[in-house]
Amino acid sequence: MIREPASKLGASTGALAEPPAGTAAGSSTQPLTHPLAHPLATPGDKNVQAAQLLNALPHPLLSVAGDGTILDVNPAAELFFAMSRNALRRIKFQELLPFASPMVSAIEQVRQRRAPINEYRVDLGTPKIGVERFVDIHIAPLPNLRDGVVIMLQERTIADKMDRQLTHRGAARSLSAMGAMMAHEIKNPLSGIRGAAQLLETAVGDEDRALCRLICDETDRIVDLVERMEAFSDGGRPVERGAVNIHEVLEHVRRVAQAGFARRIRFVESYDPSLPHVLANRDQLVQVFLNLVKNAAEAIGEDACDGEIELTTAFRPGVRIKSPGKASPVSLPLEFCVRDNGAGVPEDLMPHLFDPFVTTKSSGTGLGLALVAKIIGDHGGVIECESHARKTVFRILMPVYSRRDGAA
């Protein structure tokens, strides 16, 4: 964790926590009047213009009084803490922090020195907002408000996960070449081995016939594994993509799951009905979400009486990533999540979760999530996972379909 002085944040963010007219400069508990909500505000009002700029920031921004009362927040802060503006203004800022958070001492230093400071890679994770939430924090004193500070958070967790996603893509590309090689070099001799075992089965006694049957079964298992590997190959025909309604895909996956492996599990759907279409191949998206839902059902277990899988969609602007074949970064505003209340993913497995042959199942091949990561990566999207006991979230971010994509 690195701490350094800053110099510009206080001057640029003072409008967020300017005390309302009639409030004493030394007051630290008077709630802030939001400039946008002021009944006398006009479109040319400087307070309104400042509020519009601050509300447009993609980073959480809060103004905090001397006693810890939250005076005001921008929409990004509401999203980060999963609480409304009114709810946040009813609590103390310390209630949002994990135990012994370094932010408490950092805020105190700003109040004493009356100078801005920055800190990097501070963990604000709590069970409510996520166990691991690393952020860079920027704290500055508020002018005209004794002991008041303005706090801006810049989330590092997403950037770290993007770096891991690029690693997953590299592993998937390596697996593509391996899959093509294995399909060519292994499947042909396997068919000869199986044919010879079938011929032997007709000419041997009962005791040896069981061994021939074992050879056939094991050969079939290896062929199945090779065919799974072949799915990673980049060769073959280009995949057709078009405008896909993600809600139709999720509804199809839910029906399939509840008719089979997840029939004892409760499903919760939280969809944004105004979400635009995604540019994708429908069958591959079905494959992705079937895999994720099946993993969620297995994590919950057949004997669980309160098993729940939640499917959500949302529009989250602000994430851009450099995609192969694209001259400029691509925006990924479409967010699709699969949540479950199962046992969670072991912590030591998290950094390698999307790597091939990584699995916790005794009979698993470890290719399911690697294939999911490859399909999402081929679509120009990213997938990330956040997991702890009784709350695991697989989050997919993808680009929006446009008419230009259709023309291409």
List pLDDT tens digits, range 360-377: 766 666 778 888 888 888
Tell whether the torsion through CA atoms of 214, 220, 226 and 228 is positive or negative.
negative
List pLDDT tens digits, range 101-121: 888 899 999 999 999 988 887
Predicted pLDDT of residue 46 = 67
Higher-confidence residue of 340 and 133: namely 340
Cβ–Cβ contacts within 10 Å for residue 400, how many? 17
Match 């400042």 to its residue by tokens.
50
Assign domain 242-407 one CATH number from 1.20.1440.230, 3.40.50.880, 1.10.3720.10, 3.30.565.10: 3.30.565.10
pLDDT-derived band of residue 262, with 50, 70 and 90 as boundaries?
very high
List pLDDT tens digits, range 152-164: 998 775 666 666 5
pLDDT-derived band of residue 99, with 50, 70 and 90 as boundaries?
confident
Question: Which one, of 259, 241, 172, 282, lies nearest residue 405 by Cα?
Answer: 241
Predicted pLDDT of residue 23 = 40
Please say if the pLDDT value at position 41 is more than 70.
no
Mapping DSSP to helix (H, G, I), strand (E, B) and coil, where does residue 266 land? strand
Question: Which one, of 317, 321, 296, lies nearest residue 385 by Cα?
Answer: 296
Looking at the DSSP assignment, which residues form a beta bridge with residue 72? 63
Residue 345 phi/psi, 5-degree rounding, is -95, 135
Strands 330-331 and 382-388: unpaired
Residue 294 phi/psi, 5-degree rounding, is -65, -40
Please say if the pLDDT value at position 168 is more than 80.
no
Mean pLDDT over 182-208 rounds to 80
- Give the C-alpha separation, 357 to 360, whole Å: 10
Scanning 122-156, the segments in alpha helix (DSSP H) are none
Specify the range with the lowest mean pLDDT, choosing from 24-28, 75-79, 81-85, 97-101: 24-28
Query: Mean of the per-residue pLDDT values for the chain?
Result: 77
Question: Which one, of 202, 302, 313, lies nearest residue 253 by Cα?
Answer: 313
Predicted pLDDT of residue 32 = 39
- Give the C-alpha separation, 34 to 144, whole Å: 16
Please say if the pLDDT value at position 315 is more than 80.
yes
Tokens of 335: 């967010």
List pLDDT tens digits, range 266-312: 999 999 999 999 989 998 999 999 999 999 999 998 888 899 999 99
Predicted pLDDT of residue 130 = 57
pLDDT-derived band of residue 346, with 50, 70 and 90 as boundaries?
confident
Higher-confidence residue of 33 and 354: namely 354
Higher-confidence residue of 47 and 284: namely 284
Please give the helix or strand (H or E) that residue 86 lies within, else none.
Answer: helix 85-88
Predicted pLDDT of residue 39 = 36
Higher-confidence residue of 181 and 6: namely 181
Predicted pLDDT of residue 42 = 44
- Give the C-alpha separation, 98 to 108, whole Å: 17
Predicted pLDDT of residue 156 = 72
- Model pTM? 0.58
Looking at the DSSP assignment, which residues form a beta bridge with residue 219? none
* Domain 3-155: assigned CATH number: 3.30.450.20
Tokens of 60: 């959480």
List pLDDT tens digits, range 2-33: 444 444 444 333 444 444 443 433 333 333 34
Higher-confidence residue of 108 and 48: namely 108
pLDDT-derived band of residue 387, with 50, 70 and 90 as boundaries?
confident
Mean pLDDT over 61-79 rounds to 91
pLDDT-derived band of residue 207, with 50, 70 and 90 as boundaries?
confident
